[in-house]
Amino acid sequence: MTNSSMFSGVHQVIGNTPMVHLSRITEGLEGNIFAKLEYLNPGFSKKDRIGLQIIEEAENAGILMPGQTVVELTSGNTGTGLAIVCVVKGYKFVAVMSKGNSLERARMMRALGAEVVLVDQSPGSPLGQVSGEDLAKVEQVAQQITKERNAFRADQFNHIGNIHAHEYFTGEEMWKQTNGEIDVFLDFAGSGGTFTGCAKALKKHNSDIRCYLVEPDSASYYSSKIPTNLNHKIQGGGYSMELPLLEKELVTDYLHVTDDEATYVARELAKKEGIFAGFSSGANVAAALKLLQGTEKGANIVLTINDSGLKYLSTDLFE
């Protein structure tokens, strides 16, 4: 990444996001929450980082050829990051997404030159609530298109570049920005790349840092909690399926957040901190607040604000 003040393309401004002390939402609690504002990336989410890393690693390995098409399954954020990187670098990009994800994401990807293929949800899946079953249908279509077009599959759930983006950059930035004063890191389980990458980076500096994985209360998969409803509102994760990139030995413990908690805290972030973010960011901060009220009273907690509230205007998040 270049440090000059003039960039040759918008892909070079991905990363180096600011960190903010959430002092208003934590009023009266012992401890601190430090939030990395990933929604200030050009595609308004942390997934810009993996879009860039996966494409550049593929280029360096010689497995992505000039003019080749790139295909990926996405809830919208990885697709937006890839659309940005592909348009700047000259690749065609096809995003394959469930119809259960918010409309803004598809519109944004199309505006960025992507071809967007929308896949019907499984029977009985409510709009706005994408399950692992819905994702499996999207995966089938993504595989089919990749084969038909002899495309490069970005494969965020399996590509090591997803971990590297956060291990080499996000986690290192967190460490520097807090002067290493970190007790806890937590993240909502999407693909598992942010959790694994940041946990690895932070534990290299201090192996005592405790790392928590956040799951939807009704759709936990990794903890011992019994799932009660696989359809939940926290878009972009909680798919109740095996995540190949998640390194379970890095997990100190599992935390659970309800739809209502994630929604309430996302709204409070906007009202109290001026941070306009989506459901999973609400889930991260809700989980951090629970820790400060319980087992991690007095701790310094770092987390990411994953994406912008602008991506949820068609949902009930800010109605």
23 and 52 co-located in one domain? no
Other Cβ atoms less than 10 A from the Cβ of 150: the count is: 9
Max Cα–Cα distance, the chain, nearest Å? 57
Q: What is the distance between the alpha carbons of residues 189 and 215, in angstroms, rounded to a whole number?
A: 6
CATH of the domain at 213: 3.40.50.1100
Give the number of domains in the chain: 2
β-partners of residue 69 are 92
Q: Name the residues annotated as catalytic.
A: 47, 280
Domain containing residue 113: 47-153
Amino acid code (one letter) for 3? N
Q: Do 202 and 293 fall into the same domain?
A: yes
The residue out of 121, 153, 185 marking a domain boundary is 153
What type of residue sits at position 129? Q
59 with 186, same domain?
no
Structural domain ending residue among the three candidates 122, 153, 184? 153
Residue 318 lies in a domain: no
Distance, in Å, from the CA atom of 78 to the CA atom of 162, rounded to the nearest integer, reads 10
Which DSSP symbol is given to 269? I
Per-residue pLDDT of the chain (319 residues; tens, 9 = 90+): 545 689 999 999 999 999 999 999 999 999 999 999 999 999 999 999 999 999 999 999 999 999 999 999 998 999 999 999 999 999 999 999 999 888 889 999 999 999 999 999 999 888 888 888 999 999 999 999 999 999 999 999 999 999 999 999 999 999 999 999 999 999 999 999 999 999 999 999 999 999 999 999 999 999 988 999 888 999 989 998 999 999 999 999 999 999 999 999 999 999 999 999 999 999 999 999 999 999 999 999 999 999 999 999 999 999 8
Residue 76 lies in a domain: yes
